[in-house]
Protein backbone atom coordinates (compact mmCIF):
# COMPACT_ATOMS: atom_id res chain seq x y z
CA UNK A 1 0.00 0.00 0.00
CA UNK A 2 1.42 3.38 -1.01
CA UNK A 3 0.09 5.65 1.69
CA UNK A 4 1.81 8.96 0.91
CA UNK A 5 -1.54 10.23 -0.38
CA UNK A 6 -4.54 10.78 1.76
CA UNK A 7 -7.77 9.67 0.23
CA UNK A 8 -10.34 7.63 2.07
CA UNK A 9 -13.53 6.95 0.17
CA UNK A 10 -14.95 6.54 3.65
CA UNK A 11 -14.53 10.32 4.04
CA UNK A 12 -17.85 10.63 2.26
CA UNK A 13 -19.17 7.15 1.52
CA UNK A 14 -19.67 5.81 5.03
CA UNK A 15 -22.57 8.10 5.67
CA UNK A 16 -25.75 7.65 7.71
CA UNK A 17 -28.34 5.20 6.42
CA UNK A 18 -30.41 6.76 3.64
CA UNK A 19 -33.24 4.94 1.92
CA UNK A 20 -33.73 6.21 -1.61
CA UNK A 21 -37.46 5.59 -1.32
CA UNK A 22 -37.56 7.91 1.72
CA UNK A 23 -35.34 10.68 0.46
CA UNK A 24 -35.93 13.01 3.39
CA UNK A 25 -34.92 10.45 6.00
CA UNK A 26 -31.47 10.46 7.56
CA UNK A 27 -30.97 7.75 10.17
CA UNK A 28 -27.98 6.81 12.26
CA UNK A 29 -26.67 3.52 10.87
CA UNK A 30 -23.32 3.68 9.04
CA UNK A 31 -24.56 2.37 5.69
CA UNK A 32 -26.45 3.43 2.62
CA UNK A 33 -29.21 1.25 1.35
CA UNK A 34 -31.44 1.48 -1.70
CA UNK A 35 -35.14 0.71 -1.68
CA UNK A 36 -35.90 -2.30 -3.86
CA UNK A 37 -39.38 -3.32 -2.73
CA UNK A 38 -41.18 -1.56 -5.55
CA UNK A 39 -42.69 -2.55 -8.85
CA UNK A 40 -40.69 -3.25 -12.01
CA UNK A 41 -41.35 0.21 -13.40
CA UNK A 42 -40.58 2.13 -10.24
CA UNK A 43 -37.23 3.96 -10.00
CA UNK A 44 -35.85 1.71 -7.26
CA UNK A 45 -36.17 -1.53 -9.24
CA UNK A 46 -33.19 -2.58 -11.31
CA UNK A 47 -33.81 -4.79 -14.36
CA UNK A 48 -30.86 -6.87 -15.49
CA UNK A 49 -29.98 -8.50 -18.79
CA UNK A 50 -26.89 -10.54 -18.01
CA UNK A 51 -24.54 -11.95 -20.59
CA UNK A 52 -21.15 -13.43 -19.87
CA UNK A 53 -18.85 -10.43 -19.60
CA UNK A 54 -15.14 -10.06 -18.91
CA UNK A 55 -13.75 -6.56 -18.49
CA UNK A 56 -10.08 -5.71 -17.87
CA UNK A 57 -9.45 -3.94 -14.58
CA UNK A 58 -6.73 -1.76 -13.15
CA UNK A 59 -5.79 -2.10 -9.50
CA UNK A 60 -4.82 1.47 -8.67
CA UNK A 61 -4.04 2.42 -5.07
CA UNK A 62 -5.65 -0.95 -4.28
CA UNK A 63 -8.97 0.25 -5.80
CA UNK A 64 -10.67 -1.99 -8.38
CA UNK A 65 -11.21 0.20 -11.46
CA UNK A 66 -12.92 -0.81 -14.71
CA UNK A 67 -13.88 0.89 -17.98
CA UNK A 68 -17.02 0.28 -20.03
CA UNK A 69 -18.74 1.89 -23.00
CA UNK A 70 -22.18 3.36 -22.33
CA UNK A 71 -25.14 3.92 -24.66
CA UNK A 72 -23.81 7.32 -25.79
CA UNK A 73 -20.82 5.51 -27.31
CA UNK A 74 -18.27 6.93 -24.85
CA UNK A 75 -16.11 4.91 -22.46
CA UNK A 76 -16.41 5.70 -18.75
CA UNK A 77 -14.40 4.63 -15.74
CA UNK A 78 -15.92 3.11 -12.59
CA UNK A 79 -14.70 1.91 -9.23
CA UNK A 80 -16.36 -1.32 -8.04
CA UNK A 81 -17.24 -1.03 -4.36
CA UNK A 82 -18.59 -4.06 -2.50
CA UNK A 83 -18.66 -1.97 0.68
CA UNK A 84 -21.28 0.46 -0.65
CA UNK A 85 -24.99 -0.21 -0.96
CA UNK A 86 -25.46 2.80 -3.21
CA UNK A 87 -24.00 3.67 -6.61
CA UNK A 88 -22.67 7.11 -7.55
CA UNK A 89 -22.20 8.92 -10.85
CA UNK A 90 -20.58 12.20 -11.78
CA UNK A 91 -22.78 15.13 -12.83
CA UNK A 92 -21.51 14.80 -16.42
CA UNK A 93 -22.34 11.09 -16.62
CA UNK A 94 -25.75 11.64 -15.01
CA UNK A 95 -26.62 14.08 -17.80
CA UNK A 96 -25.86 11.40 -20.38
CA UNK A 97 -27.37 8.21 -18.96
CA UNK A 98 -29.84 9.22 -16.22
CA UNK A 99 -33.61 9.18 -16.67
CA UNK A 100 -34.77 12.57 -17.89
CA UNK A 101 -36.97 14.50 -15.49
CA UNK A 102 -39.72 16.95 -16.32
CA UNK A 103 -38.66 20.56 -16.59
CA UNK A 104 -40.80 21.60 -13.64
CA UNK A 105 -39.82 18.61 -11.47
CA UNK A 106 -38.10 19.41 -8.20
CA UNK A 107 -34.80 17.49 -7.89
CA UNK A 108 -34.90 14.92 -5.12
CA UNK A 109 -32.11 15.52 -2.62
CA UNK A 110 -30.52 13.24 -0.04
CA UNK A 111 -29.14 15.11 2.95
CA UNK A 112 -26.05 13.37 4.27
CA UNK A 113 -23.23 14.02 6.71
CA UNK A 114 -19.67 13.45 5.62
CA UNK A 115 -17.06 11.80 7.81
CA UNK A 116 -15.56 15.22 8.52
CA UNK A 117 -18.87 16.21 10.13
CA UNK A 118 -20.06 18.61 7.41
CA UNK A 119 -23.47 18.19 5.81
CA UNK A 120 -24.18 18.18 2.11
CA UNK A 121 -27.01 17.31 -0.21
CA UNK A 122 -26.61 14.81 -3.03
CA UNK A 123 -29.13 14.64 -5.82
CA UNK A 124 -30.80 11.26 -6.34
CA UNK A 125 -31.20 9.98 -9.87
CA UNK A 126 -31.98 6.80 -11.80
CA UNK A 127 -29.71 5.54 -14.56
CA UNK A 128 -31.60 4.43 -17.66
CA UNK A 129 -29.00 1.84 -18.54
CA UNK A 130 -25.63 0.98 -17.07
CA UNK A 131 -23.59 -1.14 -19.44
CA UNK A 132 -20.81 -3.40 -18.18
CA UNK A 133 -19.51 -5.01 -21.32
CA UNK A 134 -22.34 -7.13 -22.74
CA UNK A 135 -24.43 -6.95 -19.57
CA UNK A 136 -26.92 -4.14 -19.07
CA UNK A 137 -28.50 -2.95 -15.81
CA UNK A 138 -31.62 -0.80 -16.28
CA UNK A 139 -33.09 1.74 -13.88
CA UNK A 140 -30.20 1.77 -11.42
CA UNK A 141 -30.70 4.11 -8.41
CA UNK A 142 -27.71 6.39 -7.87
CA UNK A 143 -26.56 9.57 -6.21
CA UNK A 144 -24.74 12.33 -8.07
CA UNK A 145 -21.29 13.15 -6.72
CA UNK A 146 -18.29 15.16 -7.90
CA UNK A 147 -15.30 12.81 -8.20
CA UNK A 148 -12.67 15.52 -8.65
CA UNK A 149 -10.85 14.61 -5.42
CA UNK A 150 -10.81 10.88 -6.11
CA UNK A 151 -9.79 11.50 -9.73
CA UNK A 152 -6.95 13.73 -8.56
CA UNK A 153 -5.82 11.11 -6.07
CA UNK A 154 -5.69 8.34 -8.66
CA UNK A 155 -4.39 10.54 -11.47
CA UNK A 156 -7.16 9.59 -13.90
CA UNK A 157 -10.82 10.59 -14.25
CA UNK A 158 -13.37 8.55 -12.31
CA UNK A 159 -16.98 8.75 -13.54
CA UNK A 160 -18.78 6.58 -11.02
CA UNK A 161 -18.83 4.02 -8.26
CA UNK A 162 -20.84 0.81 -8.62
CA UNK A 163 -22.32 -0.44 -5.35
CA UNK A 164 -22.78 -4.08 -4.34
CA UNK A 165 -26.59 -4.32 -4.85
CA UNK A 166 -26.23 -3.69 -8.60
CA UNK A 167 -24.91 -7.25 -8.88
CA UNK A 168 -27.65 -8.94 -6.84
CA UNK A 169 -28.89 -10.93 -9.85
CA UNK A 170 -25.49 -11.87 -11.24
CA UNK A 171 -22.45 -13.85 -10.32
CA UNK A 172 -19.76 -11.22 -9.75
CA UNK A 173 -16.06 -12.06 -9.81
CA UNK A 174 -13.33 -9.60 -8.85
CA UNK A 175 -10.12 -11.19 -10.07
CA UNK A 176 -7.42 -9.06 -8.45
CA UNK A 177 -4.36 -11.10 -9.55
CA UNK A 178 -5.72 -11.39 -13.11
CA UNK A 179 -6.90 -7.75 -13.15
CA UNK A 180 -10.35 -8.49 -14.55
CA UNK A 181 -14.04 -8.28 -13.65
CA UNK A 182 -16.36 -11.12 -14.64
CA UNK A 183 -20.15 -10.80 -14.69
CA UNK A 184 -22.04 -14.01 -15.39
CA UNK A 185 -25.69 -15.12 -15.39
CA UNK A 186 -26.81 -17.66 -12.87
CA UNK A 187 -26.79 -21.22 -14.19
CA UNK A 188 -30.18 -22.64 -15.10
CA UNK A 189 -29.45 -25.67 -12.91
CA UNK A 190 -28.16 -25.31 -9.36
CA UNK A 191 -24.40 -25.70 -9.30
CA UNK A 192 -22.85 -26.64 -5.95
CA UNK A 193 -20.01 -24.45 -4.73
CA UNK A 194 -16.51 -25.60 -5.60
CA UNK A 195 -14.94 -28.05 -3.15
CA UNK A 196 -12.96 -26.59 -0.29
CA UNK A 197 -9.25 -26.86 -1.03
CA UNK A 198 -6.18 -25.08 0.32
CA UNK A 199 -6.58 -22.64 -2.56
CA UNK A 200 -10.39 -22.28 -2.59
CA UNK A 201 -12.71 -21.41 0.30
CA UNK A 202 -16.44 -20.65 0.06
CA UNK A 203 -17.86 -18.66 2.96
CA UNK A 204 -21.44 -17.65 3.76
CA UNK A 205 -21.94 -13.90 4.11
CA UNK A 206 -24.57 -11.77 5.82
CA UNK A 207 -26.21 -9.48 3.27
CA UNK A 208 -28.94 -7.93 5.41
CA UNK A 209 -27.44 -4.45 5.09
CA UNK A 210 -26.80 -4.85 1.36
CA UNK A 211 -23.06 -5.46 1.76
CA UNK A 212 -21.15 -8.71 2.44
CA UNK A 213 -20.19 -9.40 6.06
CA UNK A 214 -18.16 -12.53 6.79
CA UNK A 215 -16.57 -14.13 9.86
CA UNK A 216 -12.79 -14.32 10.02
CA UNK A 217 -10.44 -15.54 12.72
CA UNK A 218 -7.46 -13.85 14.39
CA UNK A 219 -5.54 -16.32 16.52
CA UNK A 220 -8.29 -18.10 18.45
CA UNK A 221 -10.78 -15.19 18.25
CA UNK A 222 -13.51 -14.81 15.61
CA UNK A 223 -15.12 -11.57 14.51
CA UNK A 224 -17.09 -10.07 11.61
CA UNK A 225 -15.62 -7.97 8.80
CA UNK A 226 -17.00 -6.14 5.78
CA UNK A 227 -15.57 -7.13 2.39
CA UNK A 228 -14.82 -3.65 1.12
CA UNK A 229 -13.29 -3.29 -2.34
CA UNK A 230 -13.93 0.45 -2.02
CA UNK A 231 -11.22 0.75 0.61
CA UNK A 232 -7.54 0.90 -0.28
CA UNK A 233 -6.52 -0.42 3.13
CA UNK A 234 -5.64 -3.80 4.57
CA UNK A 235 -7.48 -5.20 7.58
CA UNK A 236 -9.14 -2.32 9.41
CA UNK A 237 -9.50 -3.79 12.86
CA UNK A 238 -11.81 -2.62 15.61
CA UNK A 239 -10.05 -4.08 18.66
CA UNK A 240 -13.03 -3.78 21.04
CA UNK A 241 -13.63 -7.18 22.61
CA UNK A 242 -10.55 -8.65 20.90
CA UNK A 243 -6.96 -9.15 22.03
CA UNK A 244 -4.64 -8.36 19.10
CA UNK A 245 -0.91 -8.86 19.63
CA UNK A 246 1.58 -6.96 17.50
CA UNK A 247 4.96 -7.88 16.07
CA UNK A 248 5.51 -4.22 15.09
CA UNK A 249 3.61 -1.21 16.41
CA UNK A 250 0.96 -0.08 16.54
CA UNK A 251 2.37 3.29 15.64
CA UNK A 252 1.07 6.53 14.15
CA UNK A 253 0.30 6.04 10.49
CA UNK A 254 -2.16 7.56 8.05
CA UNK A 255 -4.64 10.36 8.71
CA UNK A 256 -8.33 9.45 8.61
CA UNK A 257 -11.49 11.45 9.08
CA UNK A 258 -14.25 10.79 11.57
CA UNK A 259 -17.33 12.65 12.75
CA UNK A 260 -15.07 14.22 15.36
CA UNK A 261 -12.66 15.51 12.71
CA UNK A 262 -9.29 14.37 11.38
CA UNK A 263 -7.19 12.07 13.52
CA UNK A 264 -4.07 10.00 13.13
CA UNK A 265 -4.64 6.31 12.62
CA UNK A 266 -2.61 3.64 14.36
CA UNK A 267 -1.09 0.97 12.18
CA UNK A 268 1.05 -2.09 12.80
CA UNK A 269 1.75 -5.72 11.95
CA UNK A 270 0.01 -8.44 13.93
CA UNK A 271 1.92 -11.17 15.67
CA UNK A 272 -1.04 -13.44 14.92
CA UNK A 273 -2.22 -15.09 11.72
CA UNK A 274 -5.64 -14.29 10.27
CA UNK A 275 -7.80 -17.03 8.74
CA UNK A 276 -10.40 -16.50 6.00
CA UNK A 277 -12.01 -19.88 5.47
CA UNK A 278 -9.06 -22.15 4.73
CA UNK A 279 -6.72 -19.31 3.77
CA UNK A 280 -4.02 -18.15 6.17
CA UNK A 281 -2.82 -14.55 6.03
CA UNK A 282 0.48 -14.51 7.84
CA UNK A 283 0.82 -11.69 10.39
CA UNK A 284 -0.97 -9.05 8.29
CA UNK A 285 -0.58 -5.30 8.47
CA UNK A 286 -3.64 -3.78 10.17
CA UNK A 287 -5.05 -0.32 10.76
CA UNK A 288 -6.93 0.22 14.00
CA UNK A 289 -10.42 1.71 13.68
CA UNK A 290 -13.40 2.53 15.87
CA UNK A 291 -15.77 1.58 13.03
CA UNK A 292 -16.85 -1.80 11.70
CA UNK A 293 -13.85 -4.04 10.96
CA UNK A 294 -13.27 -4.51 7.23
CA UNK A 295 -10.88 -5.96 4.67
CA UNK A 296 -9.90 -3.62 1.83
CA UNK A 297 -7.99 -3.74 -1.41
CA UNK A 298 -4.52 -4.16 0.11
CA UNK A 299 -5.84 -7.37 1.69
CA UNK A 300 -8.15 -8.51 -1.14
CA UNK A 301 -5.61 -8.11 -3.95
CA UNK A 302 -4.19 -11.53 -3.04
CA UNK A 303 -7.45 -13.24 -4.06
CA UNK A 304 -10.03 -13.81 -6.74
CA UNK A 305 -13.46 -13.29 -5.17
CA UNK A 306 -16.74 -14.60 -6.58
CA UNK A 307 -19.97 -13.29 -5.00
CA UNK A 308 -23.22 -15.25 -5.22
CA UNK A 309 -25.94 -13.03 -3.73
CA UNK A 310 -28.71 -15.57 -4.31
CA UNK A 311 -27.11 -17.99 -1.91
CA UNK A 312 -25.16 -15.35 0.03
CA UNK A 313 -21.82 -17.02 -0.56
CA UNK A 314 -18.41 -15.67 -1.50
CA UNK A 315 -15.56 -17.81 -2.79
CA UNK A 316 -11.97 -16.77 -2.10
CA UNK A 317 -9.39 -18.28 -4.47
CA UNK A 318 -5.65 -17.89 -3.98
CA UNK A 319 -3.33 -19.25 -6.64
CA UNK A 320 -0.21 -19.57 -4.54
CA UNK A 321 0.69 -22.40 -2.18
CA UNK A 322 1.10 -21.78 1.52
CA UNK A 323 0.06 -18.73 3.54
CA UNK A 324 -0.49 -15.28 2.10
CA UNK A 325 2.17 -12.76 3.09
CA UNK A 326 1.83 -8.98 3.03
CA UNK A 327 4.56 -6.58 2.02
CA UNK A 328 6.07 -4.01 4.35
CA UNK A 329 4.64 -0.50 4.06
CA UNK A 330 7.32 1.73 2.59
CA UNK A 331 6.87 5.41 3.23
CA UNK A 332 8.44 8.85 3.01
CA UNK A 333 6.76 10.08 6.18
CA UNK A 334 4.81 12.66 4.15
CA UNK A 335 1.11 12.72 3.34
CA UNK A 336 0.10 14.63 0.22
CA UNK A 337 -3.08 15.95 -1.30
CA UNK A 338 -2.59 15.85 -5.08
CA UNK A 339 -3.44 18.35 -7.77
CA UNK A 340 -2.11 18.64 -11.34
CA UNK A 341 0.07 21.64 -10.44
CA UNK A 342 1.37 20.77 -6.98
CA UNK A 343 1.15 18.26 -4.15
CA UNK A 344 0.34 19.84 -0.81
CA UNK A 345 1.78 18.33 2.37
CA UNK A 346 -1.03 17.42 4.76
CA UNK A 347 1.16 16.20 7.57
CA UNK A 348 4.57 14.83 8.48
CA UNK A 349 4.54 11.60 10.51
CA UNK A 350 6.25 12.18 13.86
CA UNK A 351 9.14 10.03 15.07
CA UNK A 352 10.34 9.30 11.55
CA UNK A 353 13.50 10.38 9.68
CA UNK A 354 11.40 12.88 7.73
CA UNK A 355 10.25 14.60 10.91
CA UNK A 356 13.79 15.97 11.30
CA UNK A 357 13.64 17.78 7.94
CA UNK A 358 12.46 21.40 7.47
CA UNK A 359 9.01 20.36 6.23
CA UNK A 360 5.54 21.08 7.55
CA UNK A 361 1.87 20.86 6.64
CA UNK A 362 0.96 23.25 3.85
CA UNK A 363 4.26 23.05 1.98
CA UNK A 364 3.81 22.72 -1.79
CA UNK A 365 5.80 20.19 -3.81
CA UNK A 366 6.13 21.08 -7.50
CA UNK A 367 8.73 18.54 -8.71
CA UNK A 368 9.75 14.96 -7.93
CA UNK A 369 13.28 13.96 -8.89
CA UNK A 370 13.37 17.04 -11.10
CA UNK A 371 10.15 16.33 -13.02
CA UNK A 372 6.86 18.26 -12.59
CA UNK A 373 4.38 16.46 -10.34
CA UNK A 374 1.93 16.28 -13.27
CA UNK A 375 4.17 13.57 -14.77
CA UNK A 376 3.86 11.39 -11.69
CA UNK A 377 0.64 9.40 -11.79
CA UNK A 378 -0.16 7.05 -8.96
CA UNK A 379 1.29 3.92 -10.53
CA UNK A 380 4.59 5.54 -11.47
CA UNK A 381 4.99 7.07 -8.02
CA UNK A 382 4.12 3.75 -6.35
CA UNK A 383 6.84 2.01 -8.37
CA UNK A 384 9.33 4.66 -7.26
CA UNK A 385 8.47 4.13 -3.59
CA UNK A 386 8.99 0.39 -3.96
CA UNK A 387 12.41 0.63 -5.58
CA UNK A 388 14.13 3.85 -4.46
CA UNK A 389 16.06 4.56 -1.28
CA UNK A 390 15.30 8.28 -1.36
CA UNK A 391 13.33 10.88 -3.31
CA UNK A 392 14.23 14.48 -4.06
CA UNK A 393 11.21 16.76 -3.74
CA UNK A 394 11.24 20.34 -4.95
CA UNK A 395 9.17 22.57 -2.68
CA UNK A 396 7.91 26.04 -3.50
CA UNK A 397 8.71 28.24 -0.51
CA UNK A 398 7.54 31.76 -1.23
CA UNK A 399 8.79 32.38 -4.76
CA UNK A 400 11.84 30.15 -4.37
CA UNK A 401 12.17 26.47 -5.27
CA UNK A 402 14.06 24.36 -2.73
CA UNK A 403 15.19 20.73 -3.18
CA UNK A 404 14.85 18.46 -0.14
CA UNK A 405 16.04 14.86 -0.18
CA UNK A 406 13.68 12.55 1.74
CA UNK A 407 14.60 8.97 2.69
CA UNK A 408 12.22 6.06 2.12
CA UNK A 409 11.80 3.74 5.09
CA UNK A 410 9.56 0.93 6.28
CA UNK A 411 6.77 2.50 8.27
CA UNK A 412 5.54 -1.03 9.08
CA UNK A 413 8.22 -3.70 8.49
Q: Do the domains 10-184 and 331-412 sit in the same CATH topology, yes or no?
A: no
| pLDDT bucket at 164, cuts 50 / 70 / 90 | very high
Each residue of 3-55: pLDDT tens digit?
565 444 433 343 332 322 222 222 222 223 232 222 233 344 566 788 889 99
Residue 219, Ramachandran bin (φ over 0: left; ψ between -120 and 50: alpha; else beta): left
- pLDDT for 20 equals 25
Each residue of 174-221: pLDDT tens digit?
999 999 999 999 886 667 777 777 789 999 999 998 999 999 999 999
Q: Give the separation between CA 6 and CA 89, rounded to whole angstroms.
A: 22
CATH fold label, 201-325: Cathepsin D, subunit A; domain 1 (2.40.70)
Q: Where is pLDDT greater, at 120 or 338?
A: 338
Q: Give the separation between CA 240 and CA 218, rounded to whole angstroms.
A: 13
- pLDDT for 138 equals 93
CATH fold label, 10-184: Cathepsin D, subunit A; domain 1 (2.40.70)
- pLDDT for 2 equals 53
- pLDDT for 19 equals 23
Span 108-133, mean pLDDT? 79
- pLDDT for 117 equals 53
CA dihedral (136, 142, 144, 149) in degrees, to 10, reads -80
3-state secondary structure the chain: CCCCECCCCHHHHCCCCCECCCCCCCCCCCCCECCCCCCCCCCCCCEEECCCEEEEEEEECCEEEEEEECCCCCEEEEEEECCCCCEEECHHHHHHHECCCCCCCCCCEEEEECCCCCEEEEEEEEEEEEEECCEEEEEEEEEECCCHHHHHHHCCCCCEEEEHHHHCCCEEEEECCCCEEEEECCCCCCCCCCCCECCEEEEECECCCCCCEEEEEECCEEEEEEECCCCCCCEEECCCCCCCCEEEEEEEEEEEEECCEEEEEEEEEECCCEEECCEEEECCEEEECCCCCEECHHHHCCCEEEEECCCCEEEEECCCCCCEECCCEEECCEEEEECCCCEEEEEECCCCHHHHCCCCCCCEEEEECCEEHHHCCHHHHHHHHHHCCEEEEEEEECCEEEEEEEECEEEEC
- pLDDT for 126 equals 94
- pLDDT for 190 equals 65
Lowest mean pLDDT of 165-179, 300-314, 372-386, name the range. 372-386
Share of the chain above pLDDT 70, in %: 84
Q: Where is pLDDT greater, at 378 or 42?
A: 378
- pLDDT for 390 equals 95
Q: Give the separation between CA 318 and CA 282, rounded to whole angstroms.
A: 14
Average pLDDT in the chain: 83
Span 123-133, mean pLDDT? 94
**Domain residue spans in the chain?**
10-184, 201-325, 331-412
- pLDDT for 31 equals 28
- pLDDT for 30 equals 27
- pLDDT for 4 equals 61
Span 226-246, mean pLDDT? 94
Q: Which CATH architecture has domain 331-412?
A: Roll (2.30)
Alpha-carbon 380 to chain mean position: 20
Count Cβ atoms below 10 Å from residue 89 Cβ, excluding itself. 26
**β-bridge mates for residue 391, sequence order:** 406
- pLDDT for 18 equals 31
Maximum mean pLDDT: which of 35-39, 76-80, 117-121, 358-362: 76-80
- pLDDT for 300 equals 96
| pLDDT bucket at 255, cuts 50 / 70 / 90 | low
Amino acid sequence: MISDFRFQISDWRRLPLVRLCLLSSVLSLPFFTACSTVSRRAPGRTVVEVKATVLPARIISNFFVIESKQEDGSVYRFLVDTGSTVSYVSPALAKRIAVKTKKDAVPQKVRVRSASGSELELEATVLRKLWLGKSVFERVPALIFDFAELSGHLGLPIDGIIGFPVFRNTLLTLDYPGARLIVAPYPAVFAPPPPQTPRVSTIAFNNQQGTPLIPIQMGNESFIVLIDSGSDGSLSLNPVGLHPRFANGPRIGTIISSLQGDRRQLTGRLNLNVLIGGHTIEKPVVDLTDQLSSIGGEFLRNFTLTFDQRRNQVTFTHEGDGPVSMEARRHTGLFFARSPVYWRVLTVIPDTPTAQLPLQAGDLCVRINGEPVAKWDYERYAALLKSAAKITYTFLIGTKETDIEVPIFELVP
